[in-house]
Amino acid sequence: MTKSLIMYFSLSGATKTAAETIRKYTHSDIIRLEPKTPYPTGYSQYSKVGMQQMQDKANVAIKTKIPDLHQYDYIFVGYPTWDGQVPRIINTMFAENDFSGSCVVPFSTSVSTSFEDTLGSLKAAVGDGVSIVGGFRYSGEGQARDYLNTYNLTD
């Protein structure tokens, strides 16, 4: 039996919806990443902070306690697209945790940027020695279910 985890970051809830949909079909464990310093409320405020972090390649510290990842065969990693890339908190997550031996299955949300456009920044965050399996931009429950079925990731 395979064991899987969903780790995701979500500010306004779209990636949370995607993560919970994936959970429905995979029965994975699930963890929402929270930054040590909360983002301000209100779109214009938090988008300003987020874009600044992207420009600065900031190190965004994580408050959430992350378990030993070796117990998981698959780790779904979900993120909103920020400035065409993975948000900086995703870089911290990969830098601070040992993903070796697990397969990372990424999923993104965005207004318009494709998953493929975020792949370069994701690979840079993941680093060498960790395999990335496929990946997709979440656009609804049916699409996510079809994707998971195609890759035999439903339980």
Ligand X SMILES: Cc1cc2nc3c(=O)[nH]c(=O)nc-3n(C[C@H](O)[C@H](O)[C@H](O)COP(=O)(O)O)c2cc1C
Tell me which residues touch ligand X (CB under 6 A).
Answer: 10-16, 46-47, 50-51, 80-84, 109-113
Name which of 47 and 154 has its Cβ closer to ligand X: 47
In the complex, what is the shortest distance from the CB of residue 88 to ligand X, in angstroms, rounded to a whole number? 10
Per the DSSP assignment, residues forming a β-bridge with 134 are: none
In the complex, what is the shortest distance from the CB of residue 44 to ligand X, in angstroms, rounded to a whole number? 10
Distance, in Å, from the CA atom of 64 to the CA atom of 55, rounded to the nearest integer, reads 24
CA 54 to chain centre: 16
Name which of 15 and 28 has its Cβ closer to ligand X: 15
3-state secondary structure of 16: helix
In the complex, what is the shortest distance from the CB of residue 70 to ligand X, in angstroms, rounded to a whole number? 27
Name which of 3 and 116 has its Cβ closer to ligand X: 116
Name which of 50 and 106 has its Cβ closer to ligand X: 50
End-to-end CA distance of the chain: 9
Q: Rg (Cα) of the chain, in Å, rounded? A: 15
